[in-house]
């Protein structure tokens, strides 16, 4: 059996496994690579070379950049701008949403852009009396055209550019993809505006993403936070030294109530009966009375820890989180009160609730009690991983939706601008430019190493790294040449237009079942071989393949963004192809007409 025949069999097995969808796609790709090694088609070095390929490094680094933009509130700011500018016009909301997702996709790929905007779009659609199903699919498909604005918009862009360079046609420039991406975007918007009302369903969503836009007001209402709570520190020569909580005279300050006292550096109430220097007195009341009481009794007003203002709960620096005391928690039996600093010294208890009723004074914790905690975002992230409490809503999720342009947003934008400049000018290799940007984000502490690891879609990274050997085998064994010859013969062997038509149909069909990345890695060597056999430039052929691989409209399993909007939009399988067919026709026209006009055969 020839090596080319083995490659055909492995390719058929990989495609069949992708279609059946019973195994993880990355596992299928790895098994395909191992099969090529065990059958002596490729060496160990060739099998593992894919994971060291610059394309893999490039794509992994982009995921880190995407995480930084989301974690620092850049995407939240973009979402808020959308909310403010949409007004009351559903059409304006649709167009602005599609424009925003396209721009974001050009920078952080469709996966990141769609994931960030789905909750916003669902909420805004419902507020305007529209079904989210009328908004989400157009937004999803607009992200695919936005991915064609820049080199970084899609992994396929990078793969196609590298393939063109290796084939001698030269790589594509950073913004060169926009020549096809921009007209595709405007065409997508036109189809959504004029044909969308007829082609898109009107259904209620099967699942609702979390909406934290009213989270602060909801917390204030739920915990009945009506008065301000202050922590005042007892200074030397204070007349309160030696008194108990009950002995403090508040007759001249009618709004004040003593909640408790806390010893400096110790969690819980003071363990003695009387106050001493440096203890903290926790009071509830008006600012005026607190200031006068502090001045009269030699107390330093340490800080306001509870405020009835919704704007004070979530800021760029700090936030709040709800936690529930679970059964068998070691916190059961501890005494707590509003205004108390926790053991870590980083969090303050704003309120305590039991069975829906607020506990304004000292409370001995029991299972099921709820605490509202406040602290810096970093402190919330670090301390709420404690198994003795259950977090109701993760602070990180709340911050990403409510806090636009956080403290390190400017650093993130500066690093992004530097990366784009390096990629646009081509001073250094693309993989080095993105790796330098990702490393800078870590060194500047914009995100942590753990966040970077979690941000990387290892499925995509492993899929690409494991599929590259199959692509290599198709080239080295002549399998790609054989398939290319078959395609060239079937189209008459003389017209490059017929060639890109055949390739577009092949990629479009495969791309509805396989991922567009896997499809591109399979078809690219065939496209290059066919172009060389016809003696035409590889650039128009590869760009047509790129456009076709982006036309993944007909099934919900074609791409990750397609799946992201399935449940929030309440879509069914047939909804995709009804709206997707006109877009497929648009992409076909651009690939067959516009591409050859710009990149000559």
pLDDT band at 557 (very low <50, low <70, confident <90, very high): low
Q: Is the Cβ–Cβ distance between 212 and 393 less than 8 Å? A: yes
Do residue 202 and residue 218 come from a single domain? no
Report d(CA 371, CA 360) in Å as an integer. Answer: 12
Tell which wins on pLDDT, 368 or 400: 368
Do residue 247 and residue 274 come from a single domain? yes
Q: What is the pLDDT of residue 492?
A: 61
Report d(CA 532, CA 499) in Å as an integer. Answer: 12
Q: What is the pLDDT of residue 415?
A: 92
**For the domain that residue 238 is a member of, what is the CATH number?**
3.30.70.1450
Q: What is the pLDDT of residue 184?
A: 96
**Structure tokens given for 161:** 């550019």
Report d(CA 155, CA 464) in Å as an integer. Answer: 9
Q: What is the pLDDT of residue 110?
A: 85
Q: What is the pLDDT of residue 457?
A: 78
What is the layout of strands, in order, in the sheet containing 299-306? 257-262, 280-285, 228-234, 299-306
Q: How many domains does the chain have?
A: 2
Q: Which of 188-202, 224-238, 423-437 is predicted least confidently?
A: 224-238
Do residue 203 and residue 274 come from a single domain? no
Per-residue exposure over 405-420, b if at least 16 CB sit within 10 Å of its own CB, e if not:
bbebbebbeebbeebb
Looking at residues 84-103, what average pLDDT do you find? 87
Report d(CA 436, CA 442) in Å as an integer. Answer: 10
Domain span including residue 160: 3-208+418-598
pLDDT band at 355 (very low <50, low <70, confident <90, very high): confident
Please determine, for residue 84, whether its predicted confidence score (pLDDT) is greater than 70. yes
In the chain, what percentage of residues exceed pLDDT 90?
19
pLDDT band at 179 (very low <50, low <70, confident <90, very high): very high
Q: What is the pLDDT of residue 270?
A: 66
Tell which wins on pLDDT, 316 or 64: 64
Q: Which of 14-18, 29-33, 154-158, 165-169 is predicted least confidently?
A: 14-18
Q: What is the pLDDT of residue 209?
A: 61
Do residue 256 and residue 354 come from a single domain? yes
pLDDT tens per residue, range 189-225: 999 999 989 999 888 766 566 667 677 777 777 776 6
Tell which wins on pLDDT, 455 or 176: 176
- Domain-embedded: residue 313: yes
- Domain-embedded: residue 398: no
- Domain-embedded: residue 297: yes
How is residue 346 annotated by DSSP? Answer: S
Q: What is the pLDDT of residue 545?
A: 93
Q: What is the pLDDT of residue 386?
A: 80
Q: In the listed set 392, 426, 455, which residue is the last one of a domain according to the structure? A: 392
Q: What is the pLDDT of residue 99?
A: 93
Q: What is the pLDDT of residue 38?
A: 92
Tell which wins on pLDDT, 144 or 430: 144
- Domain-embedded: residue 78: yes
Please determine, for residue 494, whether its predicted confidence score (pLDDT) is greater than 70. no
pLDDT band at 261 (very low <50, low <70, confident <90, very high): confident
Q: What is the pLDDT of residue 210?
A: 67
pLDDT band at 289 (very low <50, low <70, confident <90, very high): confident
- Dihedrals φ, ψ of 145, to 5°? -70, -35
Burial of 244 per CB tally in 10 Å (0-12, 13-18, 19+): middle
Q: What is the pLDDT of residue 186?
A: 96
Do residue 258 and residue 143 come from a single domain? no
Please determine, for residue 588, whether its predicted confidence score (pLDDT) is greater than 90. yes
Do residue 197 and residue 142 come from a single domain? yes
Looking at residues 145-152, what average pLDDT do you find? 92
Do residue 198 and residue 306 come from a single domain? no
Do residue 198 and residue 220 come from a single domain? no
Q: What is the pLDDT of residue 303?
A: 60
Residues whose CB falls within 8 Å of the CB of residue 448, separated by 6 or more in sequence, listed in order: 442
Do residue 435 and residue 513 come from a single domain? yes
Q: What is the pLDDT of residue 225?
A: 64
Do residue 563 and residue 441 come from a single domain? yes
Q: What is the pLDDT of residue 311?
A: 64
For 465-492, the three-class secondary structure string (H helix, E strand, C coil) is HHHHHHHHHHHHCCHHHHHHHHHHHHCC
Q: What is the pLDDT of residue 74?
A: 82
- Domain-embedded: residue 409: no
What is the layout of strands, in order, in the sheet containing 357-358? 357-358, 347-354, 370-376, 318-324, 390-391
Q: What is the mean pLDDT of the chain?
A: 83
Burial of 316 per CB tally in 10 Å (0-12, 13-18, 19+): middle
Q: Is the Cβ–Cβ distance between 475 and 522 less than 8 Å? A: no
Q: In the listed set 392, 427, 445, which residue is the last one of a domain according to the structure? A: 392
pLDDT band at 478 (very low <50, low <70, confident <90, very high): confident
- Domain-embedded: residue 176: yes
* Dihedral (CA of 284, 285, 288, 289) sign: negative
Do residue 96 and residue 191 come from a single domain? yes
Please determine, for residue 498, whether its predicted confidence score (pLDDT) is greater than 90. no
Q: What is the pLDDT of residue 493?
A: 58
Residues whose CB falls within 8 Å of the CB of residue 256, separated by 6 or more in sequence, listed in order: 250, 283, 284, 285, 286, 289, 290, 293
Do residue 162 and residue 232 come from a single domain? no
Report d(CA 199, CA 180) in Å as an integer. Answer: 25
- Domain-embedded: residue 489: yes
- Domain-embedded: residue 407: no
The H-or-E segment that residue 510 falls in is: helix 496-511
Residue with tokens 């008194």: 243
Q: Is the Cβ–Cβ distance between 293 and 283 less than 8 Å? A: yes
Q: Which of 56-60, 224-228, 250-254, 556-560 is predicted least confidently?
A: 224-228
As a whole number of angstroms, the longest Cα–Cα distance in the chain is 102
């Amino acid at each position: 059996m020839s090596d080319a025949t083995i490659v055909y069999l492995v390719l058929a097995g990989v495609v069949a496994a992708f279609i059946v969808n019973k195994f993880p796609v990355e596992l299928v790709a790895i098994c395909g690579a191992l099969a090529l090694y065990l059958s002596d088609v490729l060496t160990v070095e060739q099998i593992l070379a894919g994971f060291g390929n610059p394309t893999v490094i490039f794509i992994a680094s982009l995921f880190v950049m995407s995480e930084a933009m989301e974690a620092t509130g850049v995407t939240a700011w973009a979402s808020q701008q959308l909310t403010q500018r949409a007004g009351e016009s559903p059409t304006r909301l649709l167009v602005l949403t599609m424009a925003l997702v396209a721009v974001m996709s050009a920078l952080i790929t469709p996966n990141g852009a769609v994931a960030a905007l789905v909750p916003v779009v669902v909420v805004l659609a419902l507020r305007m009396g529209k079904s989210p199903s009328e908004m989400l699919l157009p937004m999803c498909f607009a992200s695919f055209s936005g991915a064609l604005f820049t080199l970084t918009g899609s992994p396929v862009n990078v793969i196609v550019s590298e393939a063109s360079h290796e084939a001698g046609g030269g790589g594509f420039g950073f913004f060169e993809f926009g020549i096809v991406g921009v007209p595709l975007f405007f065409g997508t918007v036109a189809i959504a505006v004029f044909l969308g009302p007829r082609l898109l369903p009107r259904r209620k969503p099967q699942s609702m993403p979390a909406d934290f836009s009213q989270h602060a007001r909801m917390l204030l209402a739920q915990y009945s936070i009506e008065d301000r709570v202050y922590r005042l520190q007892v200074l030397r020569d204070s007349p309160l030294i030696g008194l108990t909580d009950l002995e403090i005279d508040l007759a001249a300050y009618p709004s004040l109530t003593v909640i408790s006292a806390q010893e400096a550096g110790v969690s819980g109430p003071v363990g003695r009966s009387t106050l001493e220097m440096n203890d903290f007195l926790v009071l509830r009341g008006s600012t005026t009375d607190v200031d006068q009481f502090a001045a009269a009794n030699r107390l330093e007003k340490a800080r306001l820890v509870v405020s009835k203002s919704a704007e004070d709960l979530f800021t760029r620096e700090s936030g709040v989180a709800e936690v529930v005391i679970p059964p068998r928690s070691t916190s059961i039996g501890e005494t707590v009160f509003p205004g108390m600093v926790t053991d870590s010294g980083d969090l303050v208890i704003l309120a305590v609730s039991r069975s829906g009723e607020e506990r304004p004074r000292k409370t001995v914790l029991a299972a099921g009690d709820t605490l509202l905690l406040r602290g810096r975002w970093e402190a919330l992230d670090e301390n709420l991983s404690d198994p003795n409490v259950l977090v109701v809503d993760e602070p990180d999720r709340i911050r990403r939706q409510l806090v636009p342009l956080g403290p390190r947003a400017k650093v993130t934008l500066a690093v992004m601008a530097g990366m784009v400049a390096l990629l646009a000018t081509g001073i250094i290799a693309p993989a080095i430019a993105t790796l330098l940007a990702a490393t800078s984000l870590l060194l500047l502490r914009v995100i942590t190493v753990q966040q970077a690891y979690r941000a990387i879609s290892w499925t995509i990274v492993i899929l690409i790294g494991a599929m590259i050997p199959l692509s290599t085998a198709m080239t080295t064994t002549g399998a790609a040449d054989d398939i290319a010859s078959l395609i060239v013969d079937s189209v008459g062997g003389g017209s490059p237009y017929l060639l890109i038509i055949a390739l577009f149909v092949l990629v479009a069909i495969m791309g509805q079942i396989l991922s567009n990345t896997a499809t591109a890695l399979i078809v690219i060597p065939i496209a290059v071989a066919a172009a060389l056999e016809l003696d035409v430039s590889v650039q128009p052929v590869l760009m047509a393949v790129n456009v076709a691989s982006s036309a993944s409209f007909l099934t919900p399993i074609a791409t990750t963004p397609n799946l992201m909007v399935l449940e929030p939009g309440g879509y069914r399988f047939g909804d995709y192809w009804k709206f997707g067919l006109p877009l497929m026709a648009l992409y076909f026209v651009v690939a067959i007409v516009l591409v050859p006009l710009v990149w000559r055969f």
